[in-house]
A and B are shown apart, each in its own frame.
Chain A
Amino acid sequence: MPIPLSYTLRNLAARKLTTLLTSGGMALVVFVFATVLMLEEGLRKTLVETGSMDNAVVTRRSAGTEVQSVIDREQAAIVENQPEVANGIDGARLASKETIVLISLVKRDSDKASNVLIRGVGQKGIELRPQVGIVEGRMFSPGSAEIIAGKSIAERYHGARVGEILRFGQREWTVVGIMDAGRTGFDSEIWGDADQLMQAFRRPVYSSVIVKLNDARGFSAFKNRIEADPRLTLEAKQENVFYAEQSKVLANFIRYLGLILSIIFSIGAIIGAMITMYASVAHRTTEIGTLRALGFRRATILLTFLIEALMLGAAGGVVGLILASFMQFFTISTMNWQSFSELAFSFTLNAAIIAKSLAFALIMGVVGGVLPAARAARLDIVDSLRAA
């Protein structure tokens, strides 16, 4: 017969300060653990959802990023005319020949400069990205010095709100619209007319060509033909894969740093739980003897103390998660090392992260509680009854 749960609960309630401090320490560890997972998930979501399965990004071989890539006009034309590329309603190819450069803009809050990606898109550029919508103002008109800014750029940088003017490439560019790309990477970009930007930056070449395929299954045929064509020095990637690769270094950095820290920090919390549980066992030596005398088995005693440790862990886990869930209101904006440009992403909580964090908290409880519980279970009835 098991010992009632209420016995364990009352024990935790009897020493409120100790219970509070022990679970508090665990809550902080769970907070760090969950926050890191949320950050990594936010980054993943931002970049993975930036790309679509049906689109292919063509860049110069081994360029890695669009900024480093160079495609001349003849090569771009060959890519555009591949048979796998879909046609729009107007019969024109669904392809956008784009030019990407980085410009240094100054942040509103800190007055510090950071690199912002500016993308010159073709006529079909916006049609290829259905997730991008204009939420304020209007689309830039082709052939003019007009630009539209992503939502997080408009909020964070001087000169990027509607009606404001940015000066670069010896010209003044008017921001005529704000685009919302549903928290994807395009929120951290500025868009303009490709030909205008190429002129301004004196770049006679494109950076990348984005095409919509008739069918995502046609991608491997498309890729093989592009990469085998002796006239081309290009490579093709599915758009979602391309963006996932862009975040690899940053995502790995966050993950490894976060996991190492969580593990190191958890040692502290586990020691806290051990101290508490050892004390809990020491205080109740007589009680344990009495329980044993009443006929409760060693295994039952072991379980009771383990449950007590688990509850400490669970309390820490729940509190830590509640704290971490507030982080969803924050957005992190940092330079992505690979693209060398600013990227904004937020903390994203999902069911998997909740489950992982709770499991992590329970594991901390068990690891902290197992030795003290074993000591409680090993106590000799006569000795323990005599202890007081």
Chain B
Amino acid sequence: MHFLKLILRNTLRHKLRSGLTVLGLVVAIIAFGLLRTVVDAWYAGAEGASSTRLITRNAISLVFPLPINYQERIRKVDGVSAISHASWFGGVYVSEKNFFPQFAVDAKTYFDLYPEYVIAPQEMKAFRADRKGCVIGRKLANTHGFKVGDTIPLRGTIYPGSWNFTIRAIYDGAESATDTSQFFFHWNYLNETMKKAVARRTDWIGVYVIQISDPDKAAEISDEVDAMFRNSLAETLTETEKAFQLGFVSMTEAIVIAIRIVSFVVIFIILAVMANTMAMTARERIREYATLKALGFGPCFLAGLIYGESLMIALAGAAIGIVLTFPVAAQFSEQVGTLFPVFGVSRETVYMQAAAAAAVGLAASVLPALRAARVPIVDGLRSIG
């Protein structure tokens, strides 16, 4: 008890220095937490993927479509319980910075495959009944203040022209990891419009979404689907939804790696600051340490004093930092809008923050503690700091 009291008193001796160090730690811990959350957000699509869904795309690359008549052939494959499709629309709402994903989907079947998109039954009915209607996610609605009944004008980049859609439904996510920044509309409407404009672009879809009853058969079913279309004009590549999403992440992997590295740089920066604080403190008190030694306290006691003070500062910084991470992350998420559809501080991030702070606290006092433990009493007493 006396030991803890001594540590506390020591910590409060230089209030300005301890205060500044804690402040530095708070900033570093928040920055570290935010960066880790950004990395998590990158993987959110893959995290939210279901193991019972497969995605079939054109084998050449995603920009190539698949013919709609594959649908019935895939449906017959053993183990396939349902099938739907989605096509990337890539429209621009007012300006490029308002990016959100838009898909033309099969209105009858698509949402049956995605039970995590929760839609009120009457809204679902209204959407199915309106050819030019659309379904949008809660986050997207909040970002732009959209309400049911509003019209969203989009400028087509892949499908030229001006498009207007009426919001018929807003979906909520069943879990916090569900992406609610998306926009869905009727593929039939897209197809009919293309029939009038560019006839050769009709009856094509982007990807098929396949529901399978047994996740363990994913590989076999994928192979069977791909084998069916081998050497055809549009060869397919089928993979699990998770692998499909991870494919996107791996394309921008360099950025994820850079953010990861940078998140550790901030820990090293704060380590330098913290180590400096502890080195100064120990240097100033070397005479006291010699006195304590002369009184019979061992080197372990001295090292304990220094480690204890360092850990106390580090944990104070970590505690404040972790608590503040949540409001800061919420604010950040609001600012970036639909850029990161899912942005939440995970439990692992909090553990990592605490672990990083503890590591900084321990590493910072290695040298000062060693010095205090080793200093001969006579030299210490003679020291003038």
Contacts and interface: CB of A to CB of B under 8 A. Distances in A.
* Pairing of A with B: yes
A170 B16 contact: no
B280 A279 contact: yes
Contact of A104 (B27, B61, B158, B269): B61
Q: Report the interface size class on chain A.
A: 35 or more
A46 to B, nearest CB: 14
Given A102-B63, A168-B60, A275-B273, A115 B251 contact: yes
Main secondary structure of the interface of A (DSSP, over half): mixed
Interface string A185-219: 00000000000000001101000000000000000
A90 to B, nearest CB: 34
A340 B63 contact: yes
Interface stretch (A23-31, A48-56, A77-85, A349-357): A23-31
A176 B61 CA distance: 23
Given A63-B157, A202-B233, A334-B255, A114 B272 contact: no
Contacts of A313: none
Interface string B236-247: 010000000001
Interface in A152-170: 168-170
Interface in B270-293: 270, 272-273, 275-277, 279-280, 283
Nearest to B27: A267
A268 B276 contact: no
Contact of B31 (A62, A68, A101, A265): A265
Interface in B250-269: 250-255, 258-259, 262, 265-266, 268-269
Contacts of B276: 17-18, 21-22, 25, 272, 275-276
A293 interface: no
A268 B266 CA distance: 8
A168 B269 CA distance: 49
Given A18-B280, A61-B160, A68-B90, A332 B367 contact: no
A342 interface: yes
A22 B274 CA distance: 10
Contacts of A62: 92, 155-157, 160
Interface-central residue, B21, B235, B254, by most chain A CB under 10 Å = B254
A264 to B, nearest CB: 5
Contacts of B17: 275, 278-279
A339 to B, nearest CB: 11
A112 B259 CA distance: 20
Nearest to A31: B265
Interface residues of B, number: 56
A263 to B, nearest CB: 10
Given A115-B62, A334-B252, A275 B20 contact: yes
Contact of A265 (B16, B20, B90, B269): B269
Contacts of B63: 67, 101-102, 115, 340
A15 B251 CA distance: 48
A271 B21 contact: yes
Nearest to B233: A202
Contacts, number: 148
Contacts of B253: 110, 112, 334
Contacts of A332: 254, 258
B298 interface: no
A24 B198 CA distance: 62
Nearest to A372: B16
B351 interface: no
Interface string A6-48: 0000000001011001101100110110000000000000000
B60 A268 contact: no
Contact of B158 (A68, A261, A279): A68
Contact of A268 (B16, B59, B251, B273): B273
B247 A334 contact: no
A114 B251 contact: yes
B354 interface: no
B227 to A, nearest CB: 16
Contacts of A32: 262, 265
B68 interface: no
A160 to B, nearest CB: 15
Nearest to B58: A104
A274 B20 contact: yes
B250 A114 contact: yes
B69 interface: no
A103 B60 CA distance: 5
Contacts of A269: 269, 273
B64 interface: yes
A240 B90 CA distance: 24
B122 interface: no
Interface-central residue, A201, A257, A271, by most chain B CB under 10 Å = A271
A271 B268 contact: no
List the 5 shortest-distance A-B pairs measured between CB atoms, nearest first: A25-B272, A335-B251, A272-B273, A21-B276, A271-B24
12 contacts: A21-B275, A25-B276, A68-B157, A70-B198, A103-B60, A110-B250, A114-B251, A201-B60, A261-B262, A261-B266, A264-B30, A335-B251
Given A168-B60, A265-B265, 4 more contacts: A15-B283, A21-B273, A25-B269, A101-B60
